């Protein structure tokens, strides 16, 4: 161990395993770990994610305490807090892992410029993704706009193994230093709705690893076959842990490779598709960030420029009914209730609810992305924006706009026994499955027997599916016609 003292600047990498900045700092000197909540960061984090961040910071504080290292938590500008910390501790360097959204990247550049000019050692590491943005390109050296060729290319590339912590890790935090308090960051929302999350989630690195090991041992073999059925719960639920960097994607990747090696050839053939399906989802997260870095305007604008001319409706009543799970379409309302209750929503249902907002209600995808940002514990900027642009048809590798999910048949197909809807919309649970996804089609006597009074105990549908579908397609055609006229004028 040298006499160097290194500041490790934590952000969305709240773990010790395979944390390259932390590992290298621990090898190079004594550790001063700090988390800084800047004004820009505070604005970009939704209420549910702030709840998660609070407890994730508490967890990593406990992890560091095992090495007798306190975590410093401060509120303020990155530059000022780090500058003060260097001055007060005589730290010789700042190590951190890169982030890829525009706000964090801008903050990184300011920090690097300031401290390099002051002759402070700055080291940046890649720890959040499998592949560094810009490292996966086609034969022309251009970034991929379509996922499938991106996926095929990365399957040929090397994924670095997770790093291991050195045996000796020493604190560089001065005694009696004012390390700050997590509660003083003001992350816990004043609205009590997040108190429900304790029932469903336990943030933190060790819980992420436990969750991953359980999924790898018990559920991953049925992932591809059953992941689209929300009642079966055959998904990993790792998304919030990945969003806050509590588990390494490289760890997941190599655990899967080891699992394949442990199987004989017949078993490998049987499970290969299941494991590949999960890896595709992990790589999709990389793809979203590669697109975010290459096309940063995706955060606010459609990637397909013609969608700038789409005639979105400004209907606050419909937007509120969607948020409050009062659309009258049970599969949509079930998803929105799951979101409000748990801070999470099954991915298949995310697509259904997003499609309904964008295409049945013609409300801009940015409204939905904003609501998800505030209510999802697993909010991930690149994934969230790319997901919404995918549904809207405005992304480069998107579902065509004219692909409009029918919320009735989607329910029939992916919740065939109605278990998911009955859990989240109990007021219609007594309806026969035949009518469960379209209660308004049930005969009067069936509704009465089930104790359902449309418009009273459960809403009437706020729009007609067929009419809404036709309206959405007409608006889409109008947009295409207008764009063609612009090109020809």
Residues 75-115 have pLDDT tens digits of 999 999 999 999 999 999 999 999 998 778 888 888 888 88
pLDDT band at 1 (very low <50, low <70, confident <90, very high): very low
Q: State whether 152 and 86 are in the same domain.
A: no
Instruction: Please tell me which residue, 224 or 203, carries the higher pLDDT value.
Output: 203
CATH number assigned to the domain comprising residue 59: 3.40.50.620
Which of 266, 294, 322 represents a domain boundary (last residue)?
Answer: 294
For residues 206 and 16, what is the distance between their CA atoms, to the nearest angstrom? Answer: 10
The CATH number covering residue 330 comes to 1.10.579.10
Mean pLDDT over 245-264 rounds to 89
In a shared domain, residues 139 and 29: no
| Domain presence at residue 355 | yes
Q: State whether 389 and 450 are in the same domain.
A: yes
- On whether both 311 and 449 belong to a single domain, the answer is yes
pLDDT at 266 over 70: no
Query: 214 is written with which tokens?
Result: 């359980």
Residue 347 lies in a domain: yes
CA atoms of 143 and 441, how far apart (whole Å): 49
Which has more pLDDT, 260 or 482? 482
CB within 8 Å of 415: residues ≥ 6 apart: 229, 230, 231, 331, 421, 437
Report pLDDT for 119: 83
Of 170-184, 257-271, 402-416, minimum mean pLDDT range: 257-271
Q: How far is CA 210 from the centre of its chain?
A: 19
In sequence order, which residues have a C-beta less than 8 Å from that of residue 123 and are 6 or more positions away?
A: 21, 24, 93, 94, 95, 96
Residue 50: closest CA among 243, 210, 238: 243
**At which of 244, 270, 294 does a domain end?**
294
Would 102 be classed as within a structural domain? yes
| Alpha carbons within 13 A on the beta-carbon side of 393 | 19
What's the pLDDT at 435?
Answer: 98
Give the pLDDT of residue 259.
Answer: 83
Out of 294, 314, 331, a domain closes at 294
Predicted confidence at residue 2, as pLDDT, reads 56
The CA-based diameter of the chain, rounded to the nearest angstrom, is: 81
For residue 252, give its domain range: 129-161+207-294
Q: How many domains does one find in the chain?
A: 3
Q: Does 281 lie in the same domain as 417?
A: no
pLDDT for the residue 27: 95
Choice among 261-270, 278-287, 340-349 with the minimum mean pLDDT: 261-270
Examine residue 196 and state whether it is found in any structural domain, yes or no: no
Look at residue 118 in the predicted model and tell me its pLDDT: 82
Which of 468, 465, 436 has its CA nearest to residue 450?
436
* Unique residue bearing structure tokens 């948020």: 323
Q: Which residue has the tokens 């659309």?
A: 327
CA distance 349 to 334: 9
Backbone phi, psi, residue 79, to 5°: -60, -50
Q: Quick one: pLDDT band at residue 262, thresholds 50, 70, 90?
A: confident
211 pLDDT exceeds 70? yes
Over residues 143-158, the pLDDT tens digits come to 999 999 999 999 989 9
351 in a structural domain: yes
> What pLDDT, on the 0 to 100 scale, is given for residue 189?
86
Of 101-110, 114-123, 210-219, 237-246, give the lowest mean pLDDT range.
Answer: 101-110
Co-location of 102 and 138 in the same domain = no
- Report the CATH number at residue 145: 1.25.40.80
Which of these ranges, 23-32, 98-107, 118-127, has the smallest mean pLDDT?
A: 98-107
Residue 118 belongs to a domain: yes
Say if residue 156 is in the same domain as residue 268.
yes
Across 56-72, average pLDDT: 97
* Backbone torsion region of residue 245, taken as left when φ is above 0, otherwise alpha when ψ lies between -120 and 50, otherwise beta: left
Q: What percent of the chain has pLDDT over 70?
A: 98
Residue 363 shares a structural domain with residue 471? yes
Instruction: List the single range of 189-198, 222-231, 248-257 with lowest mean pLDDT.
Output: 189-198
Q: What is the spatial distance between Cα 377 and Cα 392, in angstroms, rounded to a whole number?
A: 23
- Same domain membership, residue 289 and residue 144: yes
Q: How far is CA 349 from CA 177, 344, 388, in A?
A: 48, 11, 13
Residues 343 and 267 in one domain: no
> Rounded to an integer, what distance in angstroms lies between the CA atom of residue 320 and that of residue 291?
31
User: Is the pLDDT confidence value at 462 over 90?
Assistant: yes
Greater model confidence, 138 or 119? 138
In this structure, the answer to whether residues 78 and 134 fall within a common structural domain is no
Distance CA 68, CA 476 (A): 60
Does one domain contain both 286 and 399?
no
| pLDDT the model gives residue 268 | 66
Alpha carbon distance 107, 94 (integer Å): 14
């Amino acid at each position: 161990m040298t006499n160097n003292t290194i500041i490790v600047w934590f952000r969305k990498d709240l773990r010790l395993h395979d944390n390259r900045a932390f590992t290298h700092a621990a090898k190079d000197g004594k550790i001063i770990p700090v988390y800084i909540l800047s004004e820009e960061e505070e604005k970009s984090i939704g209420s549910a994610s702030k709840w998660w961040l609070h407890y994730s910071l508490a967890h990593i504080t406990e992890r560091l305490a095992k090495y007798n290292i306190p975590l410093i938590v401060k509120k303020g500008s990155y530059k000022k807090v780090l500058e003060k910390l260097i001055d007060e501790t005589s730290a010789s360097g700042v190590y951190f892992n890169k982030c890829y959204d525009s706000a964090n990247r801008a903050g990184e550049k300011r920090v690097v410029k300031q401290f390099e000019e002051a002759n402070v050692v700055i080291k940046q590491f890649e720890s959040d993704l499998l592949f560094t943005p810009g490292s996966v390109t086609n034969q022309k050296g251009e970034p991929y706009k379509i996922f499938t060729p991106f996926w095929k290319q990365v399957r040929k590339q090397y994924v670095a193994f997770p790093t291991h912590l050195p045996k000796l890790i020493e604190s560089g935090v001065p005694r009696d230093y004012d390390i700050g308090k997590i509660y003083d960051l003001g992350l816990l929302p004043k609205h009590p709705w997040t108190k429900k999350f304790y029932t469903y989630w336990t943030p933190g690195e060790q819980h992420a690893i436990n969750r991953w090991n359980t999924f790898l041992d018990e559920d991953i073999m049925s992932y591809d076959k059953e992941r689209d059925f929300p009642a079966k719960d055959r998904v990993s639920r790792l998304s919030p842990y990945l969003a806050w960097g509590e588990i390494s994607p490289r760890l997941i990747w190599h655990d899967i490779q080891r699992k394949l090696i442990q199987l004989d050839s017949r078993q490998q053939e049987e499970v290969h598709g299941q494991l590949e399906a999960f890896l595709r989802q992990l790589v999709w997260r990389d793809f979203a960030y590669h697109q975010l870095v290459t096309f940063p305007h995706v955060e606010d604008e459609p990637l397909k420029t013609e969608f700038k001319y789409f005639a979105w409706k400004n209907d606050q009543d419909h937007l509120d009914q969607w948020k409050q799970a009062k659309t009258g379409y049970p599969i949509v309302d079930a998803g929105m209730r799951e979101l409000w209750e748990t801070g999470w929503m099954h991915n298949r249902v995310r697509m259904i609810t997003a499609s309904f907002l964008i295409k049945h209600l013609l409300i801009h995808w940015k409204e939905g992305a904003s609501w998800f940002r505030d209510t999802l514990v697993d909010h991930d900027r690149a994934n969230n924006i790319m997901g919404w642009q995918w549904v809207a048809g405005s992304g480069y590798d998107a579902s065509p706009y004219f692909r409009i999910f029918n919320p009735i048949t989607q329910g029939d197909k992916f919740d065939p026994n109605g278990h998911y809807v009955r859990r989240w919309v109990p007021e219609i649970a007594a309806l026969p499955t035949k009518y469960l996804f379209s209660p308004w089609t049930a005969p009067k006597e069936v509704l009465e027997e089930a104790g359902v009074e449309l418009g009273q105990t459960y809403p009437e549908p706020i729009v007609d599916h067929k009419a809404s579908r036709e309206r959405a397609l007409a608006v889409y055609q109008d947009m295409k016609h207008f764009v063609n006229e612009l090109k020809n004028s």
